[in-house]
Amino acid sequence: MVVSEEHEAEGTAKFTLRGTVIGLITPAIATAIAFPLAPARPEISIALFMLAVVIAAVAGGLGAGLIAGILASTIRPLVVEDPQLTFRFDDVEDVATGVVFLSVALIVGLLVGQASEDRARASRREREARFLGTLSSTLHTGEVPDRVLDEFAEVLLEPFALSKVEVEASLDGTELRAVSRTDGESSPGPRTTVPLLAGEASIGRLVAERPDGGRPFSRDDQLLLEAAARQATAALDRARLDARARIAQLDAETNQLRAAMFSSVTHDLRTPLASIKAGVTSLLDAAVHHDPEQERDLLTTILEETDRLNRLVGNLLDLARIRAGALTPTRQQAAMDEIVEVVLARMRPRLVHHTVAADLPSDLPDVSVDPVQLDQVLTNLLENAGRHAPEGSEIRVSVQWIRDAVQVRIADQGPGIPLDERERVFEAFYRGSSSPETPGSGLGLAISKAVVVAHGGRIWIEGGPDGGCVVAFEIPREEVAP
């Protein structure tokens, strides 16, 4: 969309080539038609010449009209009154007709010019309005101030035929600057500077530059740039407030999360401790006699609860490590299918109530990963699948090579995860709405995500083809900084 372009000022007599040609041709045509008719019906010739003048003025503007008028008033007397074509221009009637022709040319030409200028102005206004509208929606997309400034600088280039835009603004004591330029080198041409005004105060400036040989900036360009700058200022202000609001919201969410975490951790730590202590005190109680089977039950409970506590503490430590930014993978060349095999071998006893299937091609390239961390991710994901999928259903692990990355998918036939929760389940301490009572600290997926991201990969949830849930992650072969 181009809003700034040159237009002809058609209200003044301008003798363009096109206008001159029209001004010459129309009386010529009128002469050709009037010539045979003139001696008999002189009034028709007057009308014809008048028509020629009007047509010239309408089609070619004031200049064309005047040329046609002069020609018509000169030729008409010859055609009408002197078939011998001797020049004679002394008649009062001829002079009067000439004056009338020229007046008509002048009036029609001026009117036409005015109308065409009105039209040009209207269409320019419309383009400007459309430009400002687009600008406003471009700048109001909830971006941070830096992005607003960048986009502003970028979006001005084409409509104003600029070669370079520089915007500087000072916001809350921070200096922001954005520069954009068209491709290709060009030496600087005309430039103009427009202030960014917030109320009366200037918070920065916009410098627009056209390439060498470009048109100078017109008054219209200047005004439109000022309007654009006002919009940019407003957008910057909004972005700044949005950013503040986001921080406030983040704070609130963090506090909420902290509270949730605190109650969740307290509960999760206390529960196994309570079972262990109850079991041990019962066994130590001299007054109670347990038969061997009861004793074994109590001891088994103690063992299971100890393992649970151990896993939870491990997860909490990992979480602390993630928060401290200390989750750095110790990478080595490893085969993903081998890591999966090891985890499956270890997890099988805990997944005896499910059918565990694996698609593990053994010819995949090695990846550079931390095998221990990946082991933990797979363990977490398999534990989750085992917790949520009904007994007897299938849990399928598959490894694939897709576009220079290894992709692992763990599919279960559990209840699945609703679309709107598929991002949130990766947040620490988040428990799915459908299974708030399922045991688990709500840390497994958060830790898994942190590990995968630390490896430069990504992790996501899909729906299975027949319901259920697929957790998939992929890790690029080459080391990528997260």
How many residues touch another protein under the rule CB under 8 A: the total is 25
Nearer to another protein, 221 or 268 (CB): 268
User: What is d(CA 444, CA 315) in angstroms, rounded to the nearest whole number?
Assistant: 7
Task: Rule CB under 8 A: say whether 334 interacts with another protein.
Answer: yes
Output the smallest distance, CB 333 to another protein, in A.
5
CA–CA separation, 390 and 411 (whole Å): 13
Residue with Cβ nearer another protein (374 or 406): 374
Residue 314 sits in the site that holds another protein (CB under 8 A):
yes
Token digits for 455?
């490896």
> For another protein, which residue of 1, 40, 85, 345 counts as binding (CB under 8 A)?
345
Segment 362-391, which members bind another protein (CB under 8 A)?
A: 362, 366, 370-372, 374-375
Query: Does residue 235 contact residue 152 with C-beta atoms inside 8 Å?
Result: yes
What does DSSP assign to residue 326? -
Which among 479, 330, 481, 329 has a CA at the least distance from the CA of 405? 479
DSSP category for residue 181: E
CB of 134 to another protein, least distance (A): 54
Q: Which is nearer to another protein, 129 or 303 (CB)?
A: 303
Return the H-helix or E-strand segment holding 104. Answer: helix 92-139
The binder of another protein chosen from 178, 322, 339, 425 (CB under 8 A): 339
| CA-to-CA separations, 307 to 215, 276, 310, 440, in angstroms, rounded | 78, 11, 5, 13
Instruction: Give min distance, CB of 307 to another protein, in A.
Output: 8
Q: How far is the CB of 322 from another protein (least distance, A)?
A: 13
Nearer to another protein, 103 or 333 (CB): 333
**Interface pick for another protein out of 353, 358, 433, 479 (rule CB under 8 A):** 358
328 binds another protein (CB under 8 A): no
- Using CB atoms within 10 A of its CB, is residue 455 exposed (0-12), middle (13-18) or buried (19+)? buried
131: which residues sit within 8 A by CB, 6+ positions away? 1, 3, 159, 224, 228
Contact between 344 and another protein per CB under 8 A:
yes
Binding pattern to another protein, positions 266-285, x when CB under 8 A?
Answer: --------------------
List the alpha helices (DSSP H) in 324-390: 336-347, 371-388
Residue 169 amino acid letter: A
Are 205 and 194 within 8 A, CB to CB? yes
As a whole number of Å, the CA-based R_g of the chain is 42
The amino acid that residue 13 corresponds to is A
Q: Which is nearer to another protein, 86 or 362 (CB)?
A: 362
Between residues 114 and 310, which has the closer beta carbon with respect to another protein?
310
Three-state DSSP at 306 gives helix
Nearer to another protein, 232 or 367 (CB): 367
Position among 123, 174, 310, 433 found at the interface with another protein (CB under 8 A): 310
Q: CA quadruple 438, 439, 443, 446: dihedral positive or negative?
A: negative
Q: Which is nearer to another protein, 287 or 324 (CB)?
A: 324
Q: At its nearest, how many Å lie between another protein and the CB of residue 367?
A: 11
Establish if 222 lies at the interface with another protein (CB under 8 A): no
Residues that bind another protein (CB under 8 A): 303, 306, 310, 314, 317, 330, 332-335, 338-339, 341-342, 344-345, 348, 358, 362, 366, 370-372, 374-375
